[in-house]
Amino acid sequence: MAIGKERAREASGEMLTPESAREMGLEPAAPDPVICPHCGKKLERRGISVGGRVLWVSHEPCGCPGEIEQAERQAAFEAAERLEEDRKKLARAGIARRFLDAEISDPTCLAFVRSYPAGRGIGLYIHGRVGTWKSTNASAIARTLLLSGRTVIMTSALKILSDVRDTFDSRSSAKEELDRYLRCEVLILDDLGKESASPWSVMTLFDVVNTRYEAMLPTIYTSQYDLDALGRRLSRAHERETADAIVSRIRETCIDVGLYGPDKRMAPIAPREQRQAVVSPANMATGAGRQSELGRFGDSDA
């Protein structure tokens, strides 16, 4: 009977008291009680059963104010450590310092991360004039997905092209430089259309877009240009067919998210809780066009 109880306790991870260990005939006997450093109370030992013996690894909680205060301080310290590690992870992924605490303000962006369609290659095309929080929403999406365990890189087409160009004068491989953008689970390309247009830049951009398109890897874009305007801008390099191919792939795989309104950078500075748009079930229901766009990918219940 004692052996059965011991095995049950081992399986459950239940802690043993000195009394329960004696009842089960387990050795060694518990050491002397631990003295609470805050109030002096004697605290009974607690152990775990391993292979027919007891390892006395802890003691009963005291519950005195001093112990509670110490536990709260320790919890606060551990929370601060986790926050710092999270911020380092976000920075390594390419999220700018200004946007490390960004919040999602657009309902379609929020619906996207809440029902993230992993493995289906569905992304977002977020566009709007200057100051409509395109980068803020994209950074907040990156932050949410990254902290939920997804592999995310946030960058710009301008930086990708610059990094690849830098390999021309070094021993680095342009293919190796591009590969991390081609293969990561989620790529966020910020400010698409800002890069100079040349046959090489347009073809390099096509390589990124097409490789991820074929691999069904989601890409999220932000741009000052809607897709028609983006096509015209990319075709400045006289690569109209390639520009059309890029736009076609984005249009097929991305939910269109238009952000409108005045330049929020020019607005008077308000407390953060006022600046962040509140996304509720009520305003989630607005924007029927966006919801039907979600429905195009089978996510209308997001």
pLDDT at 282: 41
Non-local (6+) Cβ contacts of 234 within 8 A are: 193, 197, 202, 205, 242, 243, 246, 247
pLDDT tens-digit map of 232-253 = 999 987 789 999 999 999 999 9
Predicted structure pTM score: 0.71
271 three-state secondary structure: coil
H helix runs in 53-173, sequence order: 65-92, 107-114, 134-147, 157-166
- Burial class (CB within 10 angstroms; exposed 0-12, middle 13-18, buried 19+) of 196: exposed
Given 3-state DSSP classes, what are the helix, strand and coil percentages for the chain, each rounded to the nearest 5? Answer: 50, 15, 35
Strand locations in the chain (E): 34-35, 42-43, 45-50, 53-59, 123-128, 152-156, 186-192, 219-223, 254-259
pLDDT tens-digit map of 113-171 = 999 988 899 999 999 999 899 999 999 999 999 999 999 999 999 999 988 888 776 66
95-292 CATH pick, 3.40.50.300, 3.40.50.920, 3.30.70.2660, 3.40.50.170? 3.40.50.300
* Tokens encoding 215: 């691999």
User: What residue ranges do the domains of the chain occupy?
Assistant: 2-59, 95-292
128 three-state secondary structure: strand
Could you tell me if 163 and 122 are in contact, meaning their C-beta atoms sit under 8 angstroms apart?
no
pLDDT tens-digit map of 116-126 = 988 899 999 99
User: What's at 165, amino acid-wise?
Assistant: R
Could you tell me if 193 and 155 are in contact, meaning their C-beta atoms sit under 8 angstroms apart?
no
